[in-house]
């Protein structure tokens, strides 16, 4: 069945490691996207709430969204550098 090559499912050890690394990289991509989106949404909604309470138009919504983007990108940068080490 395995063709005598060893590894899982007849694949070699190097191919198994490559698949694991690919899986880790794809998982990281999903995590990064979710990190940015959640940061933007949470801080954007907080800004929207404060705009409603303080009557500041959309100023704090824009500020919250910008801060959410900056926070999400900073977290992504730190996560990617840790992944590459």
Predicted confidence at residue 85, as pLDDT, reads 84
Report CA-CA distances (Å) from 1 to 9, 12, 13, 14, 16. Answer: 8, 14, 17, 19, 17
pLDDT in tens, 6-65: 445 556 666 766 888 888 888 999 999 999 999 999 999 999 999 999 999 999 999 999
At 69, list the tokens. Answer: 């983007």
Q: For residues 35 and 71, what is the distance between their CA atoms, to the nearest angstrom?
A: 9
Please state the pTM of the whole predicted model. Answer: 0.74
Domain edges within the chain: 35-85
Instruction: Give the list of residues 6+ apart from residue 27 with CB closer than 8 angstroms, or none.
Output: none
Predicted confidence at residue 22, as pLDDT, reads 86
The answer, yes or no, to whether residue 1 has pLDDT greater than 50, is no
Q: Give the start-end residues of each E strand in the chain.
A: none
CB 69 within 8 A of CB 36: yes
């Amino acid at each position: 069945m395995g063709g005598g090559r060893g590894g899982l499912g007849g694949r070699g050890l190097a191919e198994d490691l490559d698949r694991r690394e690919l899986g880790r990289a794809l998982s990281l991509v999903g995590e990064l996207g979710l990190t940015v989106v959640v940061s933007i949404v949470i801080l954007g909604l907080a800004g929207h709430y404060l705009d409603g309470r303080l009557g500041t138009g959309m100023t704090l919504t824009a500020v919250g969204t910008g801060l959410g983007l900056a926070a999400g990108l900073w977290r992504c940068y730190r996560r990617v550098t840790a992944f590459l080490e």
